[in-house]
Amino acid sequence: GAVVSQHPSWVICKSGTSVKIECRSLDFQATTMFWYRQFPKQSLMLMATSNEGSKATYEQGVEKDKFLINHASLTLSTLTVTSAHPEDSSFYICSALRGQQAFFGPGTRLTVL
Amino acid sequence: DQQVKQNSPSLSVQEGRISILNCDYTNSMFDYFLWYKKYPAEGPTFLISISSIKDKNEDGRFTVFLNKSAKHLSLHIVPSQPGDSAVYFCAASEANFGNEKLTFGTGTRLTIIP
C-alpha cells in the first residue's frame, strides 16, 4: 500500500509559538491531501482540504489564519498552527489521496503548554 | 452534530468468534461507506468499503452490511484473530464530494481475547 509520513510524530511547545507539521506521500504523488484533528475520545474531524498549487479549502469553524496550509509540491503538505494555545493541543493527522483512496499518516501529537 | 456514530466505544470478543461492529449515520446524502482500522501510533488503514447501491460487500474475513432504510452499517469479522485487536473507524462520504471527503465516527476499540 501507499505510504504517508508525518513529521514530527509529537511536539510540545509553549503557548504563543507556531508549530509546523509536515505530511509527505513517500511513494506516490498526491494533488489532494486532507488534514484532520482528533480530540480524545472523539472522531477525526476534517479541518481542511489541501490542493497542490492552490489555496486550501477549510471546513466551517476552522480558522484559516490560525491553521496555515501549504501544499507546495505533489508530495508535501504542511500545516502550521500559528500562535498555538493549550486548546489547540490535539492529535493532527493527514491523509493523501491516490486515485479515490485516502492513505493516512501516523499522526502528530501536539501539546501546547 | 455527530453525523456518523459508533455507539460502542469498546468490544471484546473471543478468538475464533464473530466480531460485529456497528455504525449509524444521520446524513441521508452519504452514499459511500468505509471502515478503517487503526493501531496505536499509526494512521488509519483502509479495510473495506461499500457503496449505497449495495447491501453487502465481502472481502475475506471481513463483510460489511448496509441497511439504508435504517441508516445503519455493520462490519463483521469472522473468525476473529488476535491481530484484529485495534480501533475501528466507520467513515462516510457524499457523492457531491467525489467520495473523497470523509466524515468519521468516534471509533470502537476491538479486543480479541486469545
pLDDT of residue B99: 52
pLDDT of residue B102: 87
Residue A74 near residue A55 (C-beta atoms within 8 A): no
Mean pLDDT of A10-25: 96
A84 phi, psi to nearest 5 deg? -65, 145
Chain B residues with CB under 8 Å of A6 CB are 43
Mutation site for A-interface testing, chosen from B24, B33, B101, B109 by largest number of A Cβ within 10 Å: B101
Cα angle value B57/B72/B20 (rounded, 5°): 65
Give residue-wise pLDDT tens across range A31-88: 899 999 988 778 889 999 988 888 899 999 999 999 999 998 999 999 999 999 999 9
In tens digits, what is the pLDDT along chain B, a chain of 114 residues? 789 999 999 999 999 999 999 999 999 999 999 999 998 877 899 999 999 999 999 999 999 999 999 999 999 999 999 999 999 999 998 865 555 688 999 999 999 999
Does A42 reach chain B within 8 Å, measured CB to CB? yes
Beta-bridge mates of residue A34: A49, A95
Does A88 reach chain B within 8 Å, measured CB to CB? no
